[in-house]
A = this chain, B = another copy of it.
């Protein structure tokens, strides 16, 4: 009816209207059992009537928490990051936590600044999405700022690994997935398998390891000219290949965009996919269904990573213990650009 006049109604007002003390009102609001049913009903009624909502700042000041966790991502416009934020937000909300979102970009300075900013708002925990936060190594100076932040609140990394007290990581088994598809390609008779990536991040390195392991395992020589660094941009990759003219009969790409660039290039030259050229992308984005033929892609289990992260985050926040590192499996989605099964 009239739940609108709660502009500045506070606990004192409610107390007065109900002829009780603010302590009692507080108890009712926080569901304490130390209050008689009669009193409770009376207070609850008035609260509902005037639409009283406790002031979050005052609450935060005393309790030093606002049930908010900070999410840091280099760029939410990226489909992968966006999906991660979506899953995280959903999960958190289920536990009654809100999300403070911040985009840091890929520069160290931005990362540090945004992290500090989030911290200054007293988030209860931090979730860092994306392998960019892991730096290139594991214990290098690059990631000191993360350990620094972990002194104040637990820090959770998704798709990146950093060691430190109070920092928890969730990753997927990129190495295994890439090794597996590479081996499948080799089994199909592919000789010149191009590995194309746009990054030297932690996860990109894991993928590359998978490629190299497959080569070694099957006794093939590891040729440097088969490893190419490009931009995750369909047009760029297409032109790059026209310019460089590498010899290859298969491609493992670390991004769907790269893979589709290859597909476009093949179409330009009339190379038949998958008969003459097999292509595997990464992340299983919507683009994988848009191209022709549809792109085989590796699903990195993002949703599971997010769910797993939040689950452990809540464990920590509620004083329980949690694994410091969790690995979730990737899934290989075979579509029209490969023929692993139909050899």
Contact = CB atoms under 8 A, between A and B. Distances in A.
Interface string A152-170: 1000000000000000000
Interface in A113-158: 117, 120-122, 148, 151-152
A17 interface: no
A98 interface: yes
A4 B145 CA distance: 11
Contacts of A68: 100, 121
A260 B57 contact: no
Contacts of A101: 71, 85, 89, 99-101
Interface string A263-294: 01001000000000000000001110111100
Contacts of A260: 289-290
Contact of A257 (B66, B148, B151, B286): B286
Give how many copies assemble into the complex.
Answer: 2
A76 interface: yes
B287 A286 contact: yes
A184 interface: no
Contacts of A83: 77
Interface in A1-49: 4, 7
A335 to B, nearest CB: 12
Contact of A56 (B7, B121, B234, B267): B121
Contact of A292 (B58, B235, B264): B264
Given A61-B55, A287-B286, A85 B89 contact: no
A180 interface: no
A60 interface: yes
A187 interface: no
Q: Which of A101, A151, A234, A287 has the most CB of B within 10 A?
A: A101
A250 to B, nearest CB: 20
29 contacts: A7-B152, A53-B120, A55-B61, A56-B120, A56-B121, A56-B122, A57-B57, A57-B61, A58-B61, A68-B121, A76-B76, A76-B82, A76-B85, A76-B89, A78-B82, A85-B101, A89-B102, A90-B103, A98-B100, A98-B121, A99-B100, A99-B101, A257-B290, A267-B292, A285-B286, A287-B287, A287-B290, A290-B291, A291-B291
Given A89-B102, A101-B101, A234-B290, 4 more contacts: A57-B64, A76-B76, A93-B102, A286-B287
